[in-house]
Structure 1
Amino acid sequence: MKGYHNMPEKTAEFIDSDGWCRSGDIASYDEDGRVYYVDRIKDMIQCLGHQVCPSDLERLLQSHEDVADAAVTGVPHVQYGDMPVAFVVLRNSSGCPEDVAEKLKDFVAERTLYYKHIYGGVFIVDRLPRNVNGKVLKEQLKLLYNNKTN
């Protein structure tokens, strides 16, 4: 790629002086050289001085039998830096939503290190906001969090 057509500033943001593209994605690779997508850099949560990958917490929540879908984002907090907040769509859960939310928060806490706990809470929603490509709109989740907590 040579750059963006008639957009030198955008090209300079995307391609560094050595020719590497800065896509904003985080990836890892294994001993065989296979590359695996991890997450977007802008979606990473800085909690208690540690990087938290929202997709790790989302996969964990989705492994729970009561969860049909989940999204995790970070919201600013004085003590934590950012604190993880989860939004969950339930399968057919019988029980009080507050009890299920607490159960899911404990589920994550029992399986992760302290800085990956869902300090901001688990919110039960009917559906996750998505764009036309199916990507979760995390900014809308942050607004939803602010509406629910203020």
Structure 2
Amino acid sequence: MARMHTRRRGSSDSDKPAADEPPEWSDVEEDAIEERVVELAEQGHSPSEIGLKLRDEGVQGTPVPNVKLATGKKVTEILEDNDAEPDFPEDLRNLMKRAVRLRDHMDENPGDHQNKRALQNTQSKIRRLVDYYRGDELDEDFTYSYEKAVQLL
């Protein structure tokens, strides 16, 4: 995939190994995994952090290498089923955090032109994502602004 804000080409990613079922050494029940996912979400972890915690810490000491193989559902689907999904999509939230951080940096360092450009690019990505999510996961009248982002985060 090509880069969004430069003229360079993208790099190819490696593929996950093809697997149809979880490994034999990870024999955790689906219900236990779903309970742990909801528990971690209630503690304030994002879906990607939940996946990392399940991979590293596991459920009852047994690691879960792939939630989808073990349960048949993605982490976000499990959260939706249990009404524990986050207010904002994770990618939009991360971009908003970045934009707030860049804006604070720009207030302290007004001559930093590289970060000014990075802020412009990040805000462009946010606007594009807001258009994508508007109506489904965001309100119809939602618009991005720095003040709103600070308030939400």
Same fold (TM over 0.5): no
Question: Greater share of strand residues, 1 or 2?
Answer: 1
Q: Which entry has the higher C-alpha Rg, 1 or 2?
A: 2
TM-score normalised to structure 1 length: 0.28
